[in-house]
Amino acid sequence: MVHLYYDSKTGNVQRFINKVIQITGWQAHKIEESLEIQESGHLVTYTTKLGSMPEKTKMFMDNHADKIYSVTSSGNRNWGRNFGLAADKVSEDYDIPLATKFELSGTMEDINQFIEIIKHQYNDSKRGSKKLDIA
């Protein structure tokens, strides 16, 4: 079973996750201060303040980075080179492979691409490999 851990502020990541679990049946867990994870999985977060990692995501990763296989982030292409930058920061700060990035709540193509990446590159891996990153 694939576990997804996600942080959502405006609902875009929540909508993306809802579509993914509807298609796959995977387990999704919203990041809350009290969340303790038992199963390794994948992080999906959002980019805030024109390219920053959300504080809740940072606190989660400070406590659970060893159980996260990959990171994916939503963003807004209007931010140019800062698009989805939270994923780059998580990847760099915690040595987590970057799976992909998507705009706002993602298109069906984004959702299908994410599912394929997780199924074929990171599922049950030992944290994946940076050379597999396609974002």
Residue 18 belongs to domain with CATH number: 3.40.50.360
Q: Who contacts 133 (Cβ-Cβ below 8 Å, separation ≥6)?
A: 91, 97, 98, 99
CA nearest neighbour of 93 among 134, 53, 131 = 53
**HSE of 56, CA atoms in CB hemisphere, 13 A:** 17
**What's the domain range around 97?**
3-132
Specify the number of domains making up the chain.
1
How far, in Å, CA of 28 to CA of 11, rounded? 14
**HSE of 130, CA atoms in CB hemisphere, 13 A:** 8
Min mean pLDDT across 26-40, 42-56, 82-96, 118-132 is at: 118-132
Q: At what angle do helices 108-117 and 12-24 cross, to 10 degrees?
A: 60
Q: What is the pLDDT of residues 55-99, one digit of tens each?
A: 999 999 999 999 999 999 999 888 888 899 999 999 999 999 999
pTM for the model stands at: 0.87
How far, in Å, CA of 122 to CA of 104, rounded? 23
